[in-house]
Amino acid sequence: MAVAAPAAPASLSAHSPVPHRAAERRYVVAVIGNPNTGKTTLFNALTGLTQHTGNYPGVTVESAIGEFTVEGTHFLAVDLPGTYSLAPRAPDEMIAVKVLLGLGEGVHAPDAILCVLDATNLDRNLYLLTQVLDIGRPVVVALTMTDLAHKQGIVIDFSELEKRLGVPVVPVQANRRIGLLAVRQALGRAVRDTHRPTSLIHFPAVFDSEIDSLLQSLPHTNGHPALPRFLLERLLIDAGGAIEAELAQQLGSGIRTQTEAARTRLAAAGAPVPQVEVDSRYHWITQVTEATIHQPLTISQTWTDRIDKVVTHKVWGLTVFLVAMAITFQSIFSWAAPVMDGIDALFKAIGTRVGDLLAEGPLRSLVVDGLIGGVGAVVVFVPQIAILFGLIALLEDSGYMARAAFLMDRVMASFGLSGRSFIPLLSSFACAVPGIMSTRSIDNRRDRITTILIAPLMSCSARLPVYVLLISAFIPVQTVWGIVGLQGLTLFAMYLIGLVIAPPIAFVLKRTALRGEPVPFLLELPPFKVPAWRVVLFRMYDRSWAFLRRAGTIILATTVLVWALSYYPNQNRVAQEFYARRATASSAEEIVHLNIEEAGARLRESFLGQAGRTIEPFVRPLGWDWKIGMATLASFPAREVIIAALGTIYNLGSDQDEGSIELREAMQAERWPDGRPVYTPLVALSIMVFFALCCQCGATLATIKRETGSWGYAAFTFTYMTSLAYLAALVVYQLGSRLV
C-alpha cells in the first residue's frame, strides 16, 4: 500500500500540510484511538488548561482542542472521536478520515498522528494502528494502561514492539502524569523527521492490482490520480460505506458499478471484501503479538468481573441502577433548585437596582425586563447542566455508563433506539437542555437525532408550576378507587403523557425520515476504574460554557423579541389615562394598585394582546378564551412564563407563583360574557395537556440547533410538538365536554 497521493482540485482531494508561517510554526497533531483507551485522560494531561471545545480547521464538527509546547516546538492537538477502525459507515465517521487525509476545502492533513493504544487489549488496538500507518503521516504511539497490563501478568517487549511497528512507542500513565514529556518529545522529533512510516500490511496481489486499475480509470491532474490510494482501498473494501456514498454522489453512480464488479472479481479470486482486509491485518497482528507479548494462560478474576457480577445482577444490578438514576434525577430536579432560585433572585435584585437608576420608559423596560431578565433566563440553566454533566462524566469515566446501557437496552430496543438513549431521556424529565446536550454519547447519528427529537416530550421541571397552579385551582380534592387522590392522579397522568407518546414517535421517525441501515448494538464494557477528577471538572465547565456561549445568545434574542411584542405599540392613550388616574389617587397603596392595573392594560393592548384576540377562533375549540391564548403565546420562549403572564393579565402584577392564592381566586372568578366560568376542570385539563406536549422553550430549540447543526431539526421539533399539543388539547376538550 502506498502513501496518500498529492493534491488535485476535486473536493475530496488532498491538501499539503499548513504552509510554514515564518518563525512561528504551529504543528497540528491529531489524537486517535479505540474508545476506553484513556485517550481523553491523556489528551487532558498533555494540553492542560489550554483545552477547549472547537473545530478542526476547515471541519464543522466540534472536538476537544488544546495546545502544548516542547523544546520550542508549538503544537495544536485535536482529539478525534474514539473508533475501532477507519472504515467509515456513516457520514459523521467520515470526518476523522477526511481530517487524517487532509481532504476537503481548507482541511490540511495533521503534521503528526498520536495513536493511543491500550496495552491490555493490544491486538484489537493494533488493528486501528495498522490503518493509521497506511495513511503515511508521521505517527507516535502512546501505550496506556501499562500498569493494569502489568497487574494482569501481561509482559510487553517494548523495544521489539517499536522495531516491528517502525514508529516510536511511548508507555504512559496519564493519571500519574508519567510519560507525558516523552510523548511530547517523540512528537517533536516526528514532525521534523523526513522519513515517513510505511505500511506494514500486505494485501494479496489481486487486491493491489484492482486498486491500480481503479486509480488508472479515475481522472488525473498533473499526472497524479485525483484521489489518494488510501481512499480507494477503503472504497473497495467498505461495501455500502460512507466513502462509496460520497464518491457516487461526486463522480456519478458509475463508480459504484465499477467497484461492485471489482468486488465480484476479488471474491472469485478468493479474496472477498471486507474479509481480505481483516484477515491480512489480523494475520500480521498475531505475528507481532506472539513476538512481543507474553500473556498468562489463565486470567484470574479481576475487580471488574467482581463488580460486574453485582451491577449486572437481576436483583442487585437493577437496584444499583435505580439508585444511580434516582440520584442523577434528584440532583438535577431538586439539588439544582436552590442555586437556580438564587440566580433568579440575584437577577431580580439587579433588575430592581438598575431599574431605580433609569427613568420610567421604553429604555428601562428593555434593560430590566428584556436584557437583565433575558440573561437571567439563560444563566438559570447552568446549575442543572453543570451537575448533570459532572454526574455523567463520573458514570462514563468509571465505566458504569456502558453497564447502564447494557441493562436498559432491551427496553429502548422495543421502539428502535438503544440503551445509550436512556440517560439523555431520563435527564430530560428534569430539563431537556442538558438532556439533549448529553446525547453526544450516542454513537449512531440517526439514533442520536431521534433521541434529540423526542427528548422535549419528557415532562420537564418547568412544566411542574403550570400543573401545580391548575391542579390546585380546578381539580377537585377527592379520592378515586378509595385510595388515590384525584389531584395526584392528574399530576401523574401529565408526566405519563410524554412518556406514552414518545415511543411511537421514535418508532415512526426511525421508519421514515431517519430510516437507514439497522444500527448494530455493539458496546464494549470497559474495565471499571476510579474516575479522573480532571475529566469530570473539565466536562462540567466545558458544557456549561458551551451552553452559555452558543445557546445563550439565541435565548437572549428571543426574550428581547417577546419583550418588544408585549411592550409595543407605544400606548399613549393607556399611559395618559393612568397618568390622570394617578394624579387623583389618594394613597400610596392606590398608586401601586394603579401601576399594576396599567401593566395589565398595556399588555392587553400590546402586539401580543392583539395576537391573542386574533387567535381566539383557534383556541376556542380547546375551551380557551383570548386571555389564555395570549398568556400561552407569551410563554412560547419559556413555558413557566405563563404564571407571570396570567398575573399581569388579571391585574395582579407579574410577581405571582404557582402557589399564589390571589391568582387562583382571580382565575376561578373569571367569567365568559354570559356568566359561565372560563376555567372548568376540563379547560384546566386541556391547558395542561397542551403544556405537557408543546415545545414552549427557546432554550431547547437553540440547543437542538446547536447539537444537530441545523435549524431544520429545531423547526421540525417545534412544528410537530405544537401540532401534537393542539390536537391533544382539542381531543381532551371536545371529547370531555361531550362526556361530561
- Residues in contact with another protein by the rule CB under 8 A: 84-85, 87, 89, 120-121, 123-124, 127, 238-241, 274-275, 278-279, 282, 295, 299, 304, 308, 312-314, 317-318, 402, 405-407, 409-411, 413, 419, 517-518, 520-526
Written as one letter, the residue type at 278 is V
Minimum CB distance to another protein smaller for 98 or for 403: 403
Least Å distance between CB 451 and another protein? 18
* DSSP one-letter code for 320: H
Least Å distance between CB 291 and another protein? 17
Question: What length does the chain have?
Answer: 740
Cα gap 287→23, rounded to integer Å: 45
How many Cα atoms within 13 Å fall on the side-chain side of residue 297? 0
Q: Which of 689, 402, 390, 661 is nearest to 531 (CA)?
A: 390
Minimum CB distance to another protein smaller for 196 or for 309: 309
Least Å distance between CB 543 and another protein? 27
User: In this structure, are residues 625 and 671 in contact, taking their beta carbons and an 8 Å threshold?
Assistant: no
Least Å distance between CB 408 and another protein? 8
Q: 654, exposed or middle or buried, with CB in 10 Å at 0-12, 13-18, 19+?
A: middle
At 213, which helix (H) or strand (E)?
Answer: helix 205-217
Least Å distance between CB 271 and another protein? 14
Minimum CB distance to another protein smaller for 181 or for 268: 268
User: In this structure, are residues 474 and 429 in contact, taking their beta carbons and an 8 Å threshold?
Assistant: no
User: In this structure, are residues 652 and 670 in contact, taking their beta carbons and an 8 Å threshold?
Assistant: no
645 CB neighbour count, 10 Å cutoff? 23
Minimum CB distance to another protein smaller for 279 or for 597: 279
Cα gap 401→657, rounded to integer Å: 38
User: In this structure, are residues 730 and 621 in contact, taking their beta carbons and an 8 Å threshold?
Assistant: yes
How many Cα atoms within 13 Å fall on the side-chain side of residue 174? 26
Minimum CB distance to another protein smaller for 448 or for 639: 448
Least Å distance between CB 263 and another protein? 9
Minimum CB distance to another protein smaller for 360 or for 524: 524
Cell, residue 28: 497540528
Written as one letter, the residue type at 267 is A
Minimum CB distance to another protein smaller for 435 or for 526: 526
Minimum CB distance to another protein smaller for 84 or for 158: 84
Cα gap 335→383, rounded to integer Å: 9
713 CB neighbour count, 10 Å cutoff? 18
User: In this structure, are residues 230 and 101 in contact, taking their beta carbons and an 8 Å threshold?
Assistant: yes
User: In this structure, are residues 442 and 420 in contact, taking their beta carbons and an 8 Å threshold?
Assistant: yes
User: In this structure, are residues 408 and 427 in contact, taking their beta carbons and an 8 Å threshold?
Assistant: no
Least Å distance between CB 184 and another protein? 29
Minimum CB distance to another protein smaller for 36 or for 566: 36
Minimum CB distance to another protein smaller for 182 or for 525: 525
3-state secondary structure 654-684: CCCCCCCHHHHHHHHHCECCCCCECCCHHHH
Least Å distance between CB 305 and another protein? 8
Least Å distance between CB 241 and another protein? 7
User: In this structure, are residues 137 and 196 in contact, taking their beta carbons and an 8 Å threshold?
Assistant: yes
Least Å distance between CB 54 and another protein? 29
Minimum CB distance to another protein smaller for 123 or for 662: 123
* DSSP one-letter code for 40: H
Least Å distance between CB 318 and another protein? 6
